[in-house]
Amino acid sequence: MLASSYSKLRLRDVLKLHRAGRLNLAPAFQRKSVWSTRDRQRLLISVFDGIPLPTVYLYERALGTVPGRVQYDVIDGKQRLESLMLFTGEGPLAEAQEPLRFRGDLDGEEALEWRHWADLNRVQKKRFLDTIIPVIEVTGELGEVAELFVNINSTGKRLTGQERRHAFYDHSNVLKAASSLAEQQRDAYQRRGVFSRTQMDRMLHIEFTTELLLYAYDDSHLNKKTRLDEIIRGDRLDPALLRGAVASVEQALETADLILPNLASTRFRRKADFYSVITLLMQLKRDGQVVRATWSQRNELAGELLKGFGLNVDEISHLTARAQPIPANREQHVKYLMTVKEGTDTAAQRKRRAAILNELLTGVFDTQDIYRAFNDEQRRILWNRSKTQECAICGERIQAWTDMNADHIQAYVKGGRTDLGNGAITHQKCNQRKGAN
């Protein structure tokens, strides 16, 4: 059960705690900095005007390295404390951001000038460092503290769904894998036009990446909110299968960049549409289609079909908004548009979009042969058919049957069939060296 006590700290005490490593401004449940420079300047003005500061909530827990000493995790008040510390040139933002300044009237001065910390005299600095900060110190289980964090942040700049999940489920290997992949994709997400920097600062790209990972892991579309929470709240997913899911999402994202290199100029930059493209690419590959993250004419064709389809959907949206008649033979475009116009992006809507896009790309990609390697019978036929019995890789004669292997002329990963017409004999070492390369 949570217990709390009330106290007061001066800003100079907060700085001492931070210098001693006893003030944690970024605990697991906390979100990133979301205040703008203008927000921070307003706080400084209120401090110098003598306006009392709101209460800061601190989670008190034992400092493992020093018996009997405690550390404080900031539950609420992170933005305020960061801003006050930044103005003095200290704290986690001091190296990453420009020195903070504000424009105010100090000690009854008439001139309103922009001032940095270095511009203040000794008396003004002392008064600032003596600023009283009301504090509520909380003890209890971490889950209860996370619940308090969410409740406190239910007003003002409200927490996003992903920020709520981050507060409760930071232990989840799904979320940790999604966070790592999402941060790797951060610049690419912005280049594609899927997320703005502000949206990513509020972790929306992590929520989106989590959904992609869960699709790759479970091979199914999820209801956007409730099911996501249920899975992350549950047991950890199998690490090996999760690594496979990460690899699938990475390849699909790379392939999407090749298929739609100018994604930001298409409707597929929208999160719901982009989700459908990425999951479609994973589905096609899982169904045995040769979908690869390298340039190919088939990828180029897929891109042209998607761009044309998206353009038609945009035209239907434009006509619908103006109550104008819709041309004939646009039934699929209308159906697709309805799946993103109905509000909540449910699993059923995602499945309908996937089916429409899957039909659009039918026949674009080759189907991979279900047989990966040549069997003994095929190897014997290829060996005895060869008149010279020369290696297709190095050109040298293969001296013995036991040193022979069979290789695909057109690579299997590129759609090459495992049949006699696509087979050639090679030295075993040459074939192994080629595979390693």
Which run of H or of E encompasses 404?
Answer: strand 404-408
Higher-confidence position of 106 and 311: 311
pLDDT at res. 372: 76
Q: Which amino acid would we find at residue 225?
A: K
Q: 61-70, 298-307, 329-338: which has the minimum mean pLDDT?
A: 61-70
Q: Measure Cα distances from 418 to 187, 375, 415, 432, 436 in Å.
A: 40, 9, 9, 17, 19
pLDDT at res. 163: 64
Whether the per-residue pLDDT at 354 is higher than 70: the answer is yes
Mean pLDDT, residues 19-26 = 88
Higher-confidence position of 69 and 364: 364
What Rg value do the Cα atoms of the chain yield, rounded? 30
For the chain, helix, strand, coil in percent to 5 are 55, 10, 35
Mean pLDDT, residues 241-263 = 95
Whether the per-residue pLDDT at 52 is higher than 60: the answer is yes
Distance of CA 389 to the CA centre of its chain: 52
pLDDT at res. 375: 86
Mean pLDDT, residues 14-22 = 92
**Sorting pLDDT into bands at 50, 70 and 90, what band is 14?**
very high
Digit-coded pLDDT (tens) for 327-345: 888 999 999 999 887 556 7
Q: How long, in residues, is the chain?
A: 437
Digit-coded pLDDT (tens) for 143-158: 666 667 667 765 556 6
Q: What is the pTM of this model?
A: 0.59
Higher-confidence position of 414 and 52: 52
Mean pLDDT, residues 399-423 = 85
**204 neighbors 178 (Cβ within 8 angstroms):** no
Mean pLDDT of the chain: 85
Mean pLDDT, residues 367-381 = 80
**143 neighbors 24 (Cβ within 8 angstroms):** no
Whether the per-residue pLDDT at 242 is higher than 70: the answer is yes
**144 neighbors 2 (Cβ within 8 angstroms):** yes
Q: How many helices (H) and strands (E) are present in the chain, helices listed first?
A: 18, 9
DSSP reduced 3-state for 5: strand
pLDDT at res. 254: 96
pLDDT at res. 168: 58
pLDDT at res. 108: 59
pLDDT at res. 378: 86
Whether the per-residue pLDDT at 250 is higher than 90: the answer is yes
Using CA atoms, how far apart are residues 354 and 401, in angstroms rounded to an integer?
Answer: 49
Whether the per-residue pLDDT at 65 is higher than 60: the answer is no
Mean pLDDT, residues 417-424 = 87
pLDDT at res. 233: 58
pLDDT at res. 288: 83
Whether the per-residue pLDDT at 162 is higher than 70: the answer is no
Higher-confidence position of 50 and 143: 50
Digit-coded pLDDT (tens) for 119-144: 889 998 999 999 999 999 888 766 66
Digit-coded pLDDT (tens) for 168-196: 556 678 888 888 899 999 999 999 999 99
Most confident among 70-84, 90-104, 267-281 (mean pLDDT): 267-281
Instruction: Tell the residue number behind the tokens 């956007």, with chain if given.
Output: 224
Whether the per-residue pLDDT at 435 is higher than 80: the answer is no
Most confident among 68-72, 75-79, 125-129, 145-149 (mean pLDDT): 125-129
Higher-confidence position of 289 and 134: 134
